[in-house]
Amino acid sequence: MDNRENKYSVVGENEGKGLCPCCRYYSIGFGEEGFYDICPVCFWENGGDDPNHITLEEAQKKLKYLVLWINLF
């Protein structure tokens, strides 16, 4: 039996990149490499609420306002 054909394709250039829990961009390190990475898009630190001093929910809310504000220009 040859199961090498059993591959899962990852779309685009996001291979090896981790998904930011805040802004949903593939902007941080993948898996364990992404722990305590700071997202360059939304500046969320991927270590839970503690290092960010706000909750993920609050950060996402702020991000939403930021995006709305940017879109005004």
The residues that touch Zn ion, with contacts defined as CB under 5 A, are 20, 22-23, 39, 41-42, 44
Q: Which of 64, 23, 65 is nearest to 40 (CA)?
A: 23
- Between residues 4 and 71, which has the closer beta carbon with respect to Zn ion? 71
Please, what is the minimum distance in Å from the beta carbon of residue 61 to Zn ion? Answer: 14
- Between residues 1 and 37, which has the closer beta carbon with respect to Zn ion? 37
Residues 6+ apart with CB under 8 A from 42: 20, 22, 23, 25, 59, 63
- Between residues 10 and 66, which has the closer beta carbon with respect to Zn ion? 66
Please, what is the minimum distance in Å from the beta carbon of residue 7 to Zn ion? Answer: 28
Identity (one letter) of the amino acid at 32? E
